[in-house]
């Protein structure tokens, strides 16, 4: 076609967008400018595509900090769009919004406000309040008001914007794919970061927090309680029978069609009322047929949590967020939202910067015992430097809260970020006392669980034990035709890891067979009905069948096998200098549940990058896949294996939380490495544990 062709220019435009998203602004500018030149030559300046190219270039210059150039080009794009498309076109409203952002960054609030306001008015009238861009327009206006300290103007906008976002996303969970949902979860997390940053900025300025602590608490309930838990369970529990599967698939179709219609201007939408009615009917049917479906959908607010607390109880939602207001910083801030009984809203407490705790967690020791002793020590070994002063782990995590905990005996808490790797019970208050001596600390995935507790079947007295697993493929099955995919795999299974990043071999663990045999005898003597799964039978398929087909999950689940994890990508980048562009998307994922898992029967083949057998799982069970299971009737999960307690604890712990929905029970992750001479000690520890619990109560 030659270089003077719109399609060639479109390729250049796409490359410019790609390099911009990669942060390579110089290359992006080069491609954008060449594309703009071709569009101008071939299509002329009065053409929507030419205006689009200007718009992209303006955003690039804004991101590069070239604000004067960005303003000039954005104005030109807006005027062309107004002339060609009119003021009732979404592209014109988008120009208003982006030009407003440029003025806001320049500090010209007087010019930014009317542009934001006009775009908000447009989205409300043309596409309606259900449209995501309406929520974005309100967020932009609220951001401006926060910068101007006009808090009474910003708060109602923030409240409405987050209500719309949560409502849209709650509906979208019924039809989004795993990959799409993962992206939306990241997006909602970024919005939550901004909300927390506003609150921190008000605190620094000495301003009243207003309704922001309540909004942030509600955001955490939605993010940690719904998105990372209930949303996945909606789909898994709705697919337990042919009838509910069919209804659920219909609901997905209605919701997806509705999302398509709501993306259009109001005047162009068709059949919305009929689709809404069909979706509501399907949802009511699932509510009748699927236990827990209504609870999973129920929106929970901080007031619902507060009602469940008595005078000696408190709930804490820990939050970690990127400090991106009033400008973007490199800091990740940790804070706590404390909620007590009565009528008072949550209180916000700034705790520390992530680098303070990270330096302590990254410290190296020859032995794990030394590392743990250092971490939970009041000596100089267990302190970090915070703002030029030395502080212990107690000082940075708990001391800011202490004055508000008078009379409190029981604390329900939900950790965030690095706090998943800290055992609050073990934090020392003095040389002889820890937090566990002063409080009953109950860890939850989300304090939402106080409102919707898990109902355990008390008559359930069953156990499933995995051990003595054969990690090589069964020779009797190797004659099957190999294929690259299994129908039961999700989009985020280990199968999608780049095979060049795998390697090595998982060795058979003889100690695990002895371990589960001993535990079986103890359990049966205590009246526990035990299902022992070993050898080639300990497949991923068998594991995923737990809790399916209307059979409740066992009371006890014991898994003695190898575990794996990929390092936090930020830590990995620091340690080996590798560019994330050369890594598997699986390995560099910010989602810890995609970087960790367990090895089951036949897992060596997939781990080494070989093809898997037709119709069979690959034997590598990711934490994400575990989270899709229904283990709601399981009281205790024990992971007794190599490296199950290492790496990103957040990933493995969250997968267990998500599957079991534990309520008022601890999630403990034990790590017992099967190295020379340790099989006996591991077996002794495990058998002693079960004897103490089952026999001696």
CA pair distance 232, 211, nearest whole angstrom: 30
Highest mean pLDDT out of 237-251, 361-375, 511-525, 678-692: 511-525
Which pLDDT band holds residue 55 (cuts at 50, 70, 90)? very high
Q: Which residue has the higher pLDDT, 614 or 425?
A: 425
Q: What per-residue confidence (pLDDT) applies to 622?
A: 84
Residue 517 in 3-state DSSP?
helix
Q: Which of 40-44, 294-298, 667-671, 689-693 has the lowest mean pLDDT?
A: 667-671
The yes-or-no verdict on residue 197 having pLDDT over 90 is yes
CA pair distance 484, 26, nearest whole angstrom: 40
Which pLDDT band holds residue 441 (cuts at 50, 70, 90)? very high
The yes-or-no verdict on residue 650 having pLDDT over 50 is no
Mean pLDDT of the chain: 82
| Overall pTM > 0.75 | yes
The yes-or-no verdict on residue 233 having pLDDT over 70 is no
The yes-or-no verdict on residue 249 having pLDDT over 60 is yes
Q: What per-residue confidence (pLDDT) applies to 580?
A: 41
Q: Within 13 Å and on the Cβ side, how many CA atoms surround 70? A: 21
The yes-or-no verdict on residue 647 having pLDDT over 50 is no
The yes-or-no verdict on residue 434 having pLDDT over 80 is yes
Q: What per-residue confidence (pLDDT) applies to 683?
A: 75
Using only C-alpha atoms, the chain has a radius of gyration, in whole angstroms, of 27
DSSP secondary structure code for residue 589 in this structure = -
Q: Which residue has the higher pLDDT, 15 or 673?
A: 15
Q: Assign residue 441 a region: left if phi > 0, alpha if psi is -120 to 50, beta otherwise?
A: beta
Which pLDDT band holds residue 189 (cuts at 50, 70, 90)? confident
Q: What per-residue confidence (pLDDT) applies to 644?
A: 43
Cβ 128 vs Cβ 134: under 8 Å: yes
Average pLDDT, integer, range 198-220: 94
Average pLDDT, integer, range 77-94: 93
Residue 647 in 3-state DSSP?
coil
Q: Which helix (H) or strand (E) holds 679?
A: helix 679-690
Q: What per-residue confidence (pLDDT) applies to 483?
A: 35
Average pLDDT, integer, range 63-79: 96
Taking alpha carbons only, the member of 103, 90, 84, 91 closest to residue 56 is 91
Which pLDDT band holds residue 272 (cuts at 50, 70, 90)? very high
Taking alpha carbons only, the member of 343, 134, 305, 137 closest to residue 218 is 305
Q: What per-residue confidence (pLDDT) applies to 232?
A: 61
The yes-or-no verdict on residue 576 having pLDDT over 60 is no
| Alpha-helix runs per DSSP H in 460-509 | none
Q: Which of 130-134, 192-196, 295-299 has the lowest mean pLDDT?
A: 295-299
With pLDDT > 90 as the criterion, what percentage of the chain qualifies? 46
Taking alpha carbons only, the member of 393, 386, 401, 404 closest to residue 428 is 393
The yes-or-no verdict on residue 366 having pLDDT over 70 is no
Average pLDDT, integer, range 597-618: 79
The yes-or-no verdict on residue 643 having pLDDT over 60 is no
The yes-or-no verdict on residue 581 having pLDDT over 60 is no
Highest mean pLDDT out of 448-457, 469-478, 632-641: 632-641
């Amino acid at each position: 076609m030659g270089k003077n062709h719109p399609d060639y220019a479109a390729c250049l435009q796409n490359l410019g967008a790609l390099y911009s998203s990669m942060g390579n602004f110089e290359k992006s500018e080069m491609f954008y400018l060449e594309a703009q030149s071709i569009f101008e030559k071939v299509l002329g300046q009065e053409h929507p595509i030419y205006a689009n190219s200007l718009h992209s270039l303006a955003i690039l210059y804004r991101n590069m900090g070239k604000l004067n150039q960005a303003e000039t080009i954005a104005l030109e794009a807006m005027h062309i769009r107004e002339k060609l498309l009119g003021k009732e076109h979404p592209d014109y409203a988008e120009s208003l919004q982006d030009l407003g952002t440029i003025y806001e960054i320049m500090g010209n609030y007087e010019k930014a406000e009317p542009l934001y306001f006009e775009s908000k008015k447009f989205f409300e009238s043309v596409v309606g309040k259900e449209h995501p861009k309406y929520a974005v327009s309100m967020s932009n206006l609220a951001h401006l008001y926060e910068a101007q300290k006009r808090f009474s103007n910003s708060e109602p906008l923030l409240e409405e914007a987050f209500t719309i976002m949560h409502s849209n996303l709650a509906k979208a969970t019924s039809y989004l794919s795993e990959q799409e949902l993962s992206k939306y979860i990241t997006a909602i997390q970024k919005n939550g970061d901004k909300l927390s940053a506003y609150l921190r900025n008000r605190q620094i300025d000495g301003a009243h927090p207003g309704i922001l602590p309540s909004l942030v608490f509600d955001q955490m309930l939605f993010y940690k309680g719904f998105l990372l838990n209930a949303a996945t369970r909606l789909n898994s529990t709705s697919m337990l029978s042919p009838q509910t599967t069919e209804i659920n698939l219909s609901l997905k179709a209605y919701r997806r069609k509705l999302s398509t219609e709501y993306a259009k201007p109001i005047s162009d939408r068709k059949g919305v009322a009929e689709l809404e009615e069909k979706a509501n009917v399907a949802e009511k049917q699932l509510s009748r047929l699927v236990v827990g479906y209504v609870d999973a959908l129920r929106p929970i607010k901080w007031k619902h949590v507060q009602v469940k607390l008595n005078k000696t109880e408190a709930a804490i939602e820990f939050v970690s967020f990127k400090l991106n207001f009033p400008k973007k910083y490199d800091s990740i801030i940790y804070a706590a939202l404390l909620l007590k009984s009565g009528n008072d809203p949550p209180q916000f407490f700034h705790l520390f910067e992530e680098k303070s705790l990270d330096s302590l967690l990254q410290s190296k020791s020859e032995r794990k015992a030394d590392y743990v002793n250092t971490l939970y020590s009041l000596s100089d070994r267990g302190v970090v430097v915070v703002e030029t002063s030395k502080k212990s782990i107690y000082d940075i995590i708990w001391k800011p809260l202490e004055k508000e905990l008078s009379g409190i005996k029981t604390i329900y808490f939900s950790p965030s970020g690095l706090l998943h790797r800290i055992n609050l019970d073990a934090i020392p208050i003095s040389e002889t006392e820890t937090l566990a001596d002063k409080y009953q600390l109950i860890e939850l995935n989300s304090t939402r669980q106080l409102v919707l507790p898990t109902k355990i079947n008390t008559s359930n007295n069953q156990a499933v034990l995995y051990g003595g697993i054969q990690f090589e493929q069964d020779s009797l099955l190797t004659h099957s035709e190999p294929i690259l995919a299994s129908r039961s795999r999700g989009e985020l299974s280990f199968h999608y890891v780049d095979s060049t990043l795998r390697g090595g071999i998982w060795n058979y663990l003889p100690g695990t067979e002895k371990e589960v045999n001993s535990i079986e005898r103890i359990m049966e003597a205590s009246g526990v009905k035990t299902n022992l799964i070993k050898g080639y039978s300990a497949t991923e398929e068998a594991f995923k069948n737990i809790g399916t087909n209307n059979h409740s999950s066992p009371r006890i689940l014991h898994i003695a096998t190898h575990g794996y994890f990929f390092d936090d990508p930020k830590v990995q980048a620091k340690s080996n200098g590798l560019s994330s562009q050369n890594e598997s998307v699986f390995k560099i994922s910010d989602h810890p549940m995609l970087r960790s898992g367990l090895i089951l029967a036949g897992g060596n083949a997939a781990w080494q990058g070989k093809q898997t057998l037709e119709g069979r799982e690959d034997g590598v069970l990711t934490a994400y896949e575990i989270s899709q299971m229904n283990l709601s009737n399981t009281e205790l999960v024990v992971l007794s294996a190599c490296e199950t307690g290492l790496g990103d604890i957040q990933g493995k712990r969250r997968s267990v939380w998500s599957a079991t929905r534990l309520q008022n029970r601890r999630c403990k992750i034990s790590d017992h490495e099967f190295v020379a001479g340790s099989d006996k000690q591991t077996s002794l520890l495990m058998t002693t544990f079960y004897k103490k619990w089952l026999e001696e109560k």
